């Protein structure tokens, strides 16, 4: 069951976490020969996540299993370098650091929106106390 307003923010947080791992791996392997940088197509992964039906809990063995666990699948692809290196490594530290910073901002924004949604619900439940 999809719980609005939390489901969309949780999907963004999960995608940001997956992208953090990919970008961190790229940065860590900046000097590894023949390492190919990867990245997640955030927009495609988020679109795919919004179309999926989250997995429903099974309370009886005769119930059918859901189609997804609610975790968005990352559209992982290879990053095309603007300046290829002689050793075959496609990691560009400046590009990776900029992508990492952008992803951190996106993660923080999703946390802020989630916090705002929780505060709004608390306010509604408490009746304005």
| 58/11 Cα distance (integer angstroms) | 22
Does residue 1 fall inside a structural domain? no
Give residue-wise pLDDT tens across range 44-82.
877 776 655 455 566 777 766 654 544 455 678 898 889
Q: What is the pLDDT of residue 91?
A: 95
Domain-embedded: residue 85: yes
Q: Which DSSP helix (H) or strand (E) runs through 115?
A: helix 93-126
Q: What is the pTM (predicted TM-score) of this model?
A: 0.73
Residue 15 within a domain: yes
**Is residue 12 one of the residues assigned to a domain?**
yes
Question: Domain count of the chain?
Answer: 1
Residue 96 included in any domain: yes
3-state DSSP percent of the chain in helix, strand and coil, to 5: 50, 5, 45
Tell me whether residue 104 is in a domain: yes
Counting Cα atoms < 13 Å in the Cβ hemisphere of 20 gives: 13
Please give the residue range of the domain that contains residue 117.
Answer: 6-57+64-126
């Amino acid at each position: 069951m999809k719980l609005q307003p939390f489901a969309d923010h949780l999907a963004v947080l999960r995608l940001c976490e997956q992208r953090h791992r990919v970008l961190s791996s790229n940065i860590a392997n900046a000097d590894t020969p023949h390492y190919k940088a990867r990245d997640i197509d955030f927009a495609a992964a988020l679109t795919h996540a919004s179309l999926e039906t989250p997995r429903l809990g099974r309370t009886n063995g005769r119930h059918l299993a859901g189609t997804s666990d609610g975790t968005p699948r990352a559209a992982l692809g290879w990053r095309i370098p603007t300046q290829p290196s002689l050793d075959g490594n496609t990691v560009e530290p400046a590009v990776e650091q900029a992508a990492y910073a952008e992803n951190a901002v996106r993660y923080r924004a999703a946390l802020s929106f989630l916090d705002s949604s929780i505060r709004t619900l608390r306010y509604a439940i408490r009746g304005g106390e």
